[in-house]
């Protein structure tokens, strides 16, 4: 890792199956960031506890997300890929920062409002303080930039508010994180409702392509994608279903919308869907093969989990010790 580089931090929750949207919109674009940044990517398993998990399944998913990071090409030597729960500093700083966050601030978070409506039977305190744990994730590593989607921008804002509040009392303890504004990934919409983002938790299984879907499933889902009745090949907002298919195609092939409109001029939507299906299979199949290889190498993943936990702990603990000292907690060890 290069200490002269700025620090970049991001992560994904270890719940649900990742979708093509997660891959094209985030993961794929994280691969080359290590050239420019010192990168940390967490498997956010503590955040996943806000929803009840089946223990065996949950443990498997966390490992699988780690493998997907690696399979996507994020090198665990050049980047720090680790399990959030393997670094106890997150929970510890989370608590401390809870005491620097106001109820009113958390009540305003749109994600809390959405999630508590969706999981009305389990509106737990963790769901409420979720953004504070996320602030701890980011601030522990003295993060400069955070690549997040628009749905997470409010969380980054509250992180900045908390950091600012803390720094104004205790001096410059935390680096102020900024949203990452580099080349951002494609925003992939639901195949069944192009007004909605493709989501891991969509009730309609045809709405999302999951990263581990087999080739036939991928082809079938593309074939069933909602388009329109205009029967013209164009890349425009008025044909959002087709536009989404073209976005997927472009992200998978590296082509531009202009290229693609030319390529399919005069074709029917059926041909477009078929080509999109093949392009997606072409991208996901190698990823899946790599995951399978990693699955068969238990020792390798165990070792990545262990060594990266140590690397992450080293950085996080530095910040945590500083915080404890500033606020007047006694240093024992």
Hey, is 194 helix, strand or coil? Answer: coil
Beta carbon nearer to ligand TRP, 97 or 250:
97
In the window 32-51, what residues touch ligand TRP (CB under 6 A)?
A: 44, 47
269 touches 242 (CB < 8 A): yes
Which of 197, 151, 143 lies closest to 6 in space, CA to CA?
143
- Given 6, 187, 200, 322, the catalytic residue: 200
CB of 182 to ligand TRP, least distance (A): 15
| Segment interacting with ligand TRP, rule: CB under 6 A, options 6-14, 64-72, 223-231, 268-276 | 6-14
Q: Which is nearer to ligand TRP, 124 or 152 (CB)?
A: 152
**Beta-bridge partners for 80:** 40
Sign (positive or negative) of CA dihedral 58, 62, 65, 71: negative
State the nearest-atom distance from the C-beta of 76 to ligand TRP, in Å. Answer: 18
Smaller CB distance to ligand TRP: residue 134 or 209? 134
List, in order, residues 6 or more apart from 256 with CB less than 8 Å away: 250
Near ligand TRP in 144-163, by CB under 6 A: 146, 148, 152
Q: Where are the alpha helices (DSSP H) in 42-172?
A: 45-48, 55-71, 89-98, 103-107, 110-118, 125-140, 153-170
Q: In whole angstroms, what is the distance from residue 319 CA to residue 195 CA? A: 42
Rounded CA-CA distance 218/226 in Å is: 14
Residues 297-326 that bind ligand TRP (CB under 6 A): none
Whole-number minimum distance, CB 144 to ligand TRP, in Å?
13
Q: How far is the CB of 146 from ligand TRP (least distance, A)?
A: 5
Q: Indicate whether 137 belongs to the interface with ligand TRP (CB under 6 A).
A: yes
Least Cβ distance, residue 222 to ligand TRP (angstroms): 25
Question: Which one of 11-19, 113-121, 209-217, 301-309 is the stretch in contact with ligand TRP (CB under 6 A)?
Answer: 11-19
We find the least distance from the C-beta atom of residue 279 to ligand TRP, in angstroms, to be: 26
Nearest CA-CA partner of 248 in 19, 15, 10: 19
Stretch that binds ligand TRP, among 112-120, 134-142, 204-212, 304-312 (CB under 6 A): 134-142
Is 197 among the residues known to form the active site? yes
Active site residue 243: no
Indicate whether 134 belongs to the interface with ligand TRP (CB under 6 A).
yes
Sign of the four-CA dihedral 204, 16, 244, 281: negative
Tell how far CA 321 is from the center of its chain.
28
Residue linked to tokens 């305190």: 125
Q: Give contact residues for ligand TRP (rule: CB under 6 A).
A: 9-13, 44, 47, 134, 137-138, 146, 148, 152
Kindly list the catalytic residues. Answer: 115, 197, 200
């Amino acid at each position: 890792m290069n200490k002269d580089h700025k620090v970049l931090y991001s992560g994904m929750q270890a719940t649900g199956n990742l979708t093509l949207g997660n891959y094209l919109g985030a993961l794929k674009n994280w691969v080359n960031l290590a050239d420019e940044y010192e990168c940390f990517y967490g498997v956010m398993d503590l955040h996943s506890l806000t929803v009840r998990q089946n223990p065996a399944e949950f443990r498997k998913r966390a490992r699988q997300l780690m493998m997907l990071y690696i399979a996507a090409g994020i090198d665990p030597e050049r980047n720090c890929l680790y399990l959030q729960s393997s670094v106890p500093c997150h929970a510890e700083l989370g608590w401390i920062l809870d005491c620097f966050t106001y109820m009113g601030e958390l009540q305003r978070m749109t994600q809390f409002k959405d999630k508590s409506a969706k999981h009305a039977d389990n509106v737990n305190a963790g769901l409420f303080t979720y953004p504070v744990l996320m602030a701890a994730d980011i601030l522990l590593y003295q993060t400069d930039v955070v690549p997040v989607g628009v749905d997470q921008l409010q969380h980054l804002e509250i992180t900045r508010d908390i950091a600012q509040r803390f720094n104004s009392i205790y001096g410059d303890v935390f680096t102020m994180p900024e949203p990452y504004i580099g080349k951002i990934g494609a925003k992939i919409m639901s195949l069944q409702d192009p007004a909605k983002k493709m989501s891991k938790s969509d009730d309609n299984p045809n709405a999302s392509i999951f990263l581990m879907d087999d080739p036939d499933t991928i082809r079938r889902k593309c074939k069933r994608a909602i388009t329109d009745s205009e029967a013209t090949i164009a890349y425009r907002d008025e044909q959002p279903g087709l536009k989404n298919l073209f976005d997927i195609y472009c992200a998978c092939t590296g082509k531009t919308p202009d290229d693609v409109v030319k390529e399919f001029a005069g074709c029917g939507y059926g041909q477009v869907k078929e080509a999109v299906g093949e392009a997606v299979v072409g991208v996901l199949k190698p990823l899946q093969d790599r995951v399978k290889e990693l699955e068969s190498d238990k020792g390798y993943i165990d070792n990545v989990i262990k060594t990266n936990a140590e690397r992450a702990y080293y950085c996080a603990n530095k910040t945590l010790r500083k915080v404890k000292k500033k606020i007047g907690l006694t240093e024992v060890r």
